[in-house]
Structure 1
């Protein structure tokens, strides 16, 4: 793994930057194509940490590409924004070799689409903010659930539990499915987002369970291909430790009723909470927490893909 985290990307004006998220910087290749560059930035509780996790952006990119390809093999009608993981030709030979070496494993060329402005979350198990709401009201995103559930329990069926899609620095807010339909605006599009989210979750959860991982919940994002009949398309990252909760299957049942060990950034969340830093700005993550978080991400990648992670 590289020793220095890449938290800023400077293409030296070769491509215009169109957006910068918590982790990814987006550049316009042309009017139909974007370059997605996953930095090593890491966020928790909707706040970006001051320092990053070395190599994280490359790992997230590789894992997303794995899932885009896997999901399309399992769901033939699924469309994604992923084109390939090459750099645009106008960047080659126009940037330094060290910058190109940093960019290549972190980059994807993707289709430029209209983004649907919600986070499309699917929960197969009750945990996190869903558990907190359930303890107060017996609901998750306004959906009533049976009494007596334990933290970490598997739900009878996976639930579509969307949230708002906040700008950097703002907080995503859980909303009901009905509210999400209102935000999306078009009933057919909303129905397709829900259908695809549940179908993708089911396929991914099955694959994860085959290798001993429980996919407790995950977040998807979608866009609309207006040139092809307003087709709903899976975009952004998919099924990474940044966007998902991965639990070891072998210890799941014995940990019911309390926090589960995980292969994601829950370790960082727990450290922030224990230090009274939840939601605080300008937090510098200590080296030992950086290393443990990186190890969790690497373990998730290797377990899911069956391949040894080759850091740059």
Structure 2
């Protein structure tokens, strides 16, 4: 017959502490498992700070998200928005040494795959103007920066139009001549918070809006398919049933989250998150930019477990 050994006071104290600690960890684990990231409901505001339900205008991320977040600071201090605008310099003075580069970033640097470059003022032959850059390379740009602001720091919509200015003209594909670009009509592209902070942004619809020159609607297009906004032809309509009586989004209408690898993949390259499924790459497309230019692939899978022949 076994006899239980009597525990000392210190041993009993330590045992009790251990039990309480385990219970606390268990309780915290239960709470954590049941909780989810919280984001308050909020109204969608246009560029004038009015509800889009009343104005029918495109959503302004700077006004909507800026009601709580310092969107101006974020936009002004992010290279994802700036992409070289703040480092513009005369042609040939960048670190690349190429006589046609005007910045070290996406805005101003020659692209060897598309063979296009942003033409500086005074170029004898204009290749790409600012409006065409937004339409073409905006697919890999989070908005803001050169999609909103001119090289002199003024909003693109405030720039005076004068002959030969690449910031206020676009090349007519039929004649090759410069024709004025109406920034007031097209609008500009604000920093697109939805592209990185929602679960399933509609990047395809955003790209179509950019290609069509509907710059002010590009961020709204990112929400197409959520039930918040609908498009019929060129007309956009806000769905009132996605909002409450006070004009704020319903709780389940949109999920705000921290950026995931899938969000980053929309501009950067191939992301593979299924560790059990062998990764196989069939062809290379410009949508997987970092992959086709550097070979970069984001995946938790071992190379030896993938379907890549490397």
Normalising TM by the smaller chain, what interval?
under 0.3
Q: Higher relative CO (CA 8 A, sep ≥ 6), structure 1 or 2?
A: 1
> In proportion to residue count, which structure has more strand?
1
Taking structure 2 as the reference length, the TM-score comes to 0.27
